[in-house]
Amino acid sequence: MKLYGLKTCDTCRKVLKALPDAVLKDVRADGVPPDVLAAAHAQFGAALLNTRSTTWRGLSATEREEPSLDLLARYPALMKRPLIDVDGTLYLGWGADVQAALRG
């Protein structure tokens, strides 16, 4: 189980505590593999982009108009967190539905 997120993210830390078998892949340091990013974008679409982040607020209006997949490849911290990969099945966030699916 791989957890794509940030080592400084509180939610990612909660997930690591709850799922001790998960391995954190810091998106700032390691990035997200292009195939995983493409699969996540295909599954979650615009929901994958965190428009409330400080990275998003720092983008120019022109940059914000670029395709979200291009932005995520260039600025991995724009991705909503965590993105959890369990043998090819992807989960986004740490809501009750994701917790139930992964703990149950």
Q: Which residues are catalytic?
A: 9
The values of phi and psi at residue 7, to 5°, are -65, -20
Q: Which residue shows structure tokens 């998106």?
A: 27
Name the H helices within the chain. Answer: 10-18, 34-44, 54-57, 61-64, 68-74, 96-103
Specify whether the CB–CB gap between 93 and 48 falls below 8 A.
Answer: no
What's the rounded Cα separation, in Å, for the pair 59 and 51? 10
